[in-house]
Structure formats: structure tokens, C-alpha cells
């Protein structure tokens, strides 16, 4: 057996900020070296950020990424860190001397490199390319065709990138065939609700298939609609968890491993899926025996509601910070949606940077204004009241609107007011719509849908209630003031655009609606399948029609944090002009 001290650096990267990302890798490499690591590892595309989307098709960006990698290798050497092998993900391109079908010369690669003594001693590209959900890697990249193995301190370490573990075959069985003592996978796997359980079982299974200890290093932070939750995992060859990093935190997970010593003869040849072993020796001799200082820690995991809430906070914080915004603006109605958005915003950017505006109309109840004021008092956010009655009366005097047009005018006046304040004061507007409303088109274009970001757009209404109660309970357990007024949680949801209006005038009860929507939107079940689950056929037909005809509205809604397997946006792509209707 041989000993190896592994440093898994679970960090946050920003797409396109090559200089800052390189500085982050340098800083965490210094930390890894200070811990006595023998191998430091960074996530998938840590140097360029992930996902780069169509930047991958811009040759200037690809070349800048390659240059940044070589500059990073040189800086590591110049700062006295050159002896520590560093694995880092980046964007590359194919330099194939003999281009062939599916692998043209110059094609972009989702790649990683092993940096040592100022150079990239080994580079490789992701073999399995995901092409589902938010992933569109067939559009950008060509697959790698090697089985990279690096010998470090007498241990053969096989290397993989994200989807190489999620799909069958490829580098996992190839690692076994190559006789690797450790399999390390670098990842930028986006967060989804309850994905941590799926991920753990996956890593356990792959370790058993590879026949060796397996380390799964994940990215953390946020990028547009995606959140990365970290949760890096190391398991032994039998699937037993050795170490696990915390969720949603940058962290260097260091652990001492006892691993099989590499054979005298380096592995070579062609293995599973036609992968050619690409073996590089950095240090053939094992490290002299030492007393392990890092046996591995397993972080306590968040419960489901805490995990989702943390994801929503992380998503908003990353979006604001990475786009240069310091403050946010929210229309406060006194209802639960805007109250939860306000609580998330206060946790994400600080209450002092959150600005709330109550915009009452003639139909606004006294409790709505009182609940908005109470929310502001509890959280400490900045609050003002700006009635829309004068503007509403002016429009009505000029246009004489009635019915739905009159109701929507109120929402659009509020949207105009929010955008005007945003332009004047520099805050970004947060849209408070939830997934139930967006699914059914229960929102007003250029009204409550205005904004730069929708923090709860992927959370169904029943989830909104659950998260609000969880956030209040969490505050009370810490001896803090619960941020969300109880009345905002318990009163019937209402847009208050006409006298006595409640959401159930237009929509089914949310408990029923959300279960139905989850089947149709998240699971792509058809009408007959949903009815077979026990739902009323007329109700199903009506809800499905609402969902189908609201596609044009959803296309115009701002981005927001994805927490489900199928969020509106990149996950679910349907034509706006669409005459297909589900039939029983």
C-alpha cells in the first residue's frame, strides 16, 4: 500500500473571469500545499467557469482559456508550488493531427489538465458528453478518447470529468482495466432538489465498478439560473463514505488515503469504450510512511427544506454579486410570495441592501399594507409606501378600462413604478412569481413579471408555504425574530386586483394543482396518465390548457434559480406556436 494526501478544492468560479478564477486556484493551491497535500484537485472548468455556453464557439475565448492555463502553470512554478501536481478544469480545443468524423481539428473540448513544474504534463477531455436538461454539450464539444492516468507518489490516479461518472461505461470500467488505485472525477454538476442522495449512490456504485477509492469533487456557487452545491464525496472501493464536504460552501477537503501501490510497469493499450491509456509519471516512488493527520470528515447534511432555501439564497447572491449589483428592489404586497423573496434577499445580500415598496390600490386591504410593514420591521429592510391610485385614476379616465384590462393595469403600473425606481436608484428588481403561477399563466406581462431575477420561479406554491414556515422556525430555533409575518402565511393568497379576489377564483386549490403540475411539467405525463392518477378529467383538461397557452409569458419571465429536475427555461423547451393538445 502507498499513502497519498489528497486536497479536493470545492470552489466557486465565474464564467469568463479567467484572471479571478486563476487567482482562486492559486490561493487554494497555496492552502493545499500548506496542508502537505501530494495532489491538489479543482472542479470541472474551474479556470473558465461553467457553463460557458456559446463562448465555447468563440475562438478568441478558447485561446484565452488555453493561455490562462499555461500562465497558471508558470505562476504555480514561480511561486514555489510547481512540485505539487494540480488538476484543473479548463476550455481547450482539439489539436488532432489527423481529424476524423466527430473530432474535427480545432473543435472545443471540455478539458482538464495536470499542472506540474510549470507545464501541463497531461491533458484530457470529457468522454461522455451530457445532452439533456440544462446540458447541451453536443452543441459545443467533441468527446475525449483517452483514459488519463497520472502516477503520483507511487499511486496510479485515473482521471474523469463529471458525466464520465453519470453514464455507464467509459472511464469507470477503464479505470479498473488500467489498475488505478484512485479514481478522481472533477465536476460542475448543478444542484437539484434531493440530488445529493442520488449523487451519493452514484459515487458508491462507480467506486465498486472501478474497483478503487473514488473521489467526486464538485463546484459550488451559482451561475445565472444554476446553483452548484458542492457536496464533494470520497468513498472507498466498497462504497463506504470516507469524507464528504459541506454543501454550498467553498472548502478544501483534505484527507490521507491508503491506496494500492502502482505496478512496476505503467499501464498501456486500449481499454473499455476504445479508450487509449495516456499515462504520465510524476513521482514513481511512494512517500515515506507518515502518521495520517487528515482521516477524513463527513459534513452534516442539510434537511430538504434547508437545502432548497440555501440553494435559493446562493442563486440570488451569486447572480447579484457576479453581475455587479449590490442592492435589490421588491414590490411588497403583504403576501407570502413577496415575503419569502424578501427573506431570501435579506439572507443573500443583507437587509441593508434590500428595498421594499408597498404600492397599494383602491382594492388593497389594510392587512396587506400592515403585513408589508411588519415584514420590514422584522427583517430590517428599507421600506416605503407609494400608492398607485393617482396613476390608476389617470389611466382609467383616459381609457375607461374594465374587467381583466382594469385588473392588469394595476399590476402594470406597479411594474412601471418598480422599474422607474430601479433606474433612478440602481437596484435590480426581483420578480416574485412562483412555479404554480408561471405554469398556469397567472401573472401579468410587464406587471408582476418585471425584474432582473426571479428567486422563487422554480418553487411551487405549496413549497413556498413550506419554505416560509421553515425559515421562521429556523430563526426561532436560533433565538432570532422570524422574518415572515404569520398573517402572510395563513391568509388566503390574493392578487387583490378586485374586491374580495382570491387565487382560487381562477386556480384550483394549490395542493391539488401542484401535484397535477408536477406530473405534467416535471414528469412530462400526458392527460390520460394524469387522470389515471385520480384527478378529475375536466380539471386536468383545464389546467393543461392553461399551461400550454402560457408558454409565451414564460419566455418573457426573468431568469431565476433552478431547484427542480425540470425548471422553466433551459430544462423545458416547448414551441410557443403549438396546436398539440393532450387528449384522454
Q: Catalytic residues, which ones?
A: 44, 126, 162
Closest listed residue to residue 358, CA positions, set 386, 391, 394: 386
- H/E element, 160: strand 155-161
- H/E element, 20: helix 18-34
Q: What are the CA-CA distances from residue 284 to residues 4, 155, 254, 279 (Å)?
A: 12, 8, 22, 12
State the Cα–Cα distance between residues 366 and 370, nearest whole angstrom. Answer: 6
Which residues 6+ apart lie within 8 Å of 413 measured at CB?
Answer: 359, 388, 391, 392, 395, 447
First to last CA, the chain: 63
The whole-angstrom distance between residue 400's C-alpha and the CA centroid of its chain comes to 46
DSSP letters for 286-304: PPPP---S----BPPPPPH
State the Cα–Cα distance between residues 249 and 8, nearest whole angstrom. Answer: 13
Q: How many CB atoms lie within 10 A of CB 523?
A: 12
What count of residues does the chain have?
A: 584
User: For the stretch 73-103, what's the b/e string if a residue is b when 16 or more beta carbons lie within 10 angstroms of its beta carbon?
Assistant: bebbbeeebbebbbbbbbbbbbeeeeeeeeb
State the Cα–Cα distance between residues 580 and 571, nearest whole angstrom. Answer: 20
Cell of 128: 461522455
Closest listed residue to residue 333, CA positions, set 293, 303, 360: 360
Residue 445, by phi and psi: left (phi above 0), alpha (psi -120 to 50) or beta?
beta
What DSSP character marks residue 569? T
The whole-angstrom distance between residue 476's C-alpha and the CA centroid of its chain comes to 28
State the Cα–Cα distance between residues 392 and 185, nearest whole angstrom. Answer: 58
Q: Are 54 and 20 in contact (CB under 8 A)?
A: no
Closest listed residue to residue 398, CA positions, set 384, 385, 411, 409: 409
User: For the stretch 199-209, what's the b/e string if a residue is b when 16 or more beta carbons lie within 10 angstroms of its beta carbon?
Assistant: bbebbbbbbbb
Q: Are 171 and 127 in contact (CB under 8 A)?
A: yes
What DSSP character marks residue 205? H
Closest listed residue to residue 371, CA positions, set 496, 283, 271, 514: 496
Amino acid at each position: 500500500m502507498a499513502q497519498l494526501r489528497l486536497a479536493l478544492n470545492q470552489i466557486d468560479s465565474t464564467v469568463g473571469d479567467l484572471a479571478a478564477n486563476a487567482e482562486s486556484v492559486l490561493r487554494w493551491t497555496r492552502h493545499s500545499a500548506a496542508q502537505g497535500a501530494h495532489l491538489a484537485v479543482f472542479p470541472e472548468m474551474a479556470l473558465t467557469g461553467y457553463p460557458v455556453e456559446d463562448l465555447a464557439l468563440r475562438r478568441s475565448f478558447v485561446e484565452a482559456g488555453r493561455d490562462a492555463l499555461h500562465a497558471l502553470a508558470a505562476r504555480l512554478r514561480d511561486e514555489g508550488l510547481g512540485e505539487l501536481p494540480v488538476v484543473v478544469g479548463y476550455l481547450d480545443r482539439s489539436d488532432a493531427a489527423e481529424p476524423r468524423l466527430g473530432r474535427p481539428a480545432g473543435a472545443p473540448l471540455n478539458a482538464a489538465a495536470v499542472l506540474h513544474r510549470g507545464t501541463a504534463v497531461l491533458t484530457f477531455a470529457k468522454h461522455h458528453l451530457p445532452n439533456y436538461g440544462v446540458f447541451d454539450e453536443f452543441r459545443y464539444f467533441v468527446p475525449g478518447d483517452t483514459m488519463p492516468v497520472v502516477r503520483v507518489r507511487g499511486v496510479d490516479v485515473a482521471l474523469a470529468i463529471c458525466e464520465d461518472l453519470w453514464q455507464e461505461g467509459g472511464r469507470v470500467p477503464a479505470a479498473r482495466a488500467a489498475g488505478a488505485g484512485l479514481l478522481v472525477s472533477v465536476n460542475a454538476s448543478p444542484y437539484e432538489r434531493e440530488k445529493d442522495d442520488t449523487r451519493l449512490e452514484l459515487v458508491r456504485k462507480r467506486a465498486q465498478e472501478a474497483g478503487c477509492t473514488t473521489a467526486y469533487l464538485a463546484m459550488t456557487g451559482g451561475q445565472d439560473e444554476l446553483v452548484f452545491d458542492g457536496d464533494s464525496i470520497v468513498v472507498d472501493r466498497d462504497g463506504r463514505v470516507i469524507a464528504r464536504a459541506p454543501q454550498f460552501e467553498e472548502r478544501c477537503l483534505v484527507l490521507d488515503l491508503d491506496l494500492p501501490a502502482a505496478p512496476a510497469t505503467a499501464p498501456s493499450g486500449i481499454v473499455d469504450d476504445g479508450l487509449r491509456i495516456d499515462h504520465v509519471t510524476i513521482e514513481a516512488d511512494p512517500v515515506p510512511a507518515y502518521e495520517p493527520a487528515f482521516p477524513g470528515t463527513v459534513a452534516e447534511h442539510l434537511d430538504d427544506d434547508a437545502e432548497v432555501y440555501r440553494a435559493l439564497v446562493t442563486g440570488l447572491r451569486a447572480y447579484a454579486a457576479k453581475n455587479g449589483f449590490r442592492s435589490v428592489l421588491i414590490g411588497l404586497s403583504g403576501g407570502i410570495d413577496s415575503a419569502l423573496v424578501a427573506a431570501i434577499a435579506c439572507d443573500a445580500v443583507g437587509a441593508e441592501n434590500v428595498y421594499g415598496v408597498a404600492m397599494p390600490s383602491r382594492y388593497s386591504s389594510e392587512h396587506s399594507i400592515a403585513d408589508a410593514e411588519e415584514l420590514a420591521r422584522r427583517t430590517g429592510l428599507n421600506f416605503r409606501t407609494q400608492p398607485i391610485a393617482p396613476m390608476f385614476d389617470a389611466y382609467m379616465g383616459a381609457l375607461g378600462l374594465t374587467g381583466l384590462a382594469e385588473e392588469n393595469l394595476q399590476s402594470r403600473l406597479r411594474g412601471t413604478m418598480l422599474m422607474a425606481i430601479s433606474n433612478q436608484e440602481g437596484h435590480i428588481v426581483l420578480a416574485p412569481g412562483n412555479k404554480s403561477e408561471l405554469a398556469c399563466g397567472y401573472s401579468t406581462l410587464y406587471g408582476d413579471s418585471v425584474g432582473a431575477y426571479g428567486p422563487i420561479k422554480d418553487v411551487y406554491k405549496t413549497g413556498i408555504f413550506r419554505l416560509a414556515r421553515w425559515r421562521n422556525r429556523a430563526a426561532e430555533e436560533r433565538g432570532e425574530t422570524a422574518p415572515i409575518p404569520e398573517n402572510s402565511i395563513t391568509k388566503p393568497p390574493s392578487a387583490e386586483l378586485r374586491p374580495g379576489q382570491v387565487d382560487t377564483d381562477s386556480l384550483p386549490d394549490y395542493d391539488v394543482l401542484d401535484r397535477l403540475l408536477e406530473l405534467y411539467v416535471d414528469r412530462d405525463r400526458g392527460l390520460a396518465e394524469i387522470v389515471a392518477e385520480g384527478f378529475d378529467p375536466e380539471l386536468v383538461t383545464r389546467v393543461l390548457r392553461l399551461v400550454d397557452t402560457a408558454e409565451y409569458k414564460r419566455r418573457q419571465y426573468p431568469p431565476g434559480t433552478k431547484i427542480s429536475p425540470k425548471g422553466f427555461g433551459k430544462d423545458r423547451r416547448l414551441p410557443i406556436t403549438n396546436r398539440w393538445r393532450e387528449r384522454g
